[in-house]
Amino acid sequence: MLIFFYEYLYFRRRGLAGALLIIKVAGELAEQGKNMDQIVDICQKVRSHLRTIGLSASGIQAPGQQQSFQVYFC
């Protein structure tokens, strides 16, 4: 069941941190004795409020190419 649940989250364009949060929430709900429909409903509500932010300390440098951008620290 956990593998199915993880695949469901993975293919829905959420970051790893969001997927881990939802897995933890689902586990806690299961321990509380909630049924699968309740768990899915609550996790879908949580998922709808998740956002992902990307951060980079430097630009990517593909082999044979220049670095894509520079980050300057003040």
Q: What is the pLDDT of residues 51-63, one digit of tens each?
A: 777 676 777 777 8
Q: What percent of the chain has pLDDT over 90?
A: 24
Name the residue among 4, 23, 17, 10 with its Cα closest to residue 54.
17
pLDDT at 35: 94
| Count of alpha carbons within 13 angstroms of residue 74, beta-carbon side | 0
For the chain, how many structural domains are there in total?
A: 1
Which residue range is the domain that position 53 belongs to?
1-74
**Residue 32 binned pLDDT confidence (cut-offs 50, 70, 90):** very high
Say what the pTM is. 0.56
pLDDT of 6 above 60? no
pLDDT of residue 28: 96
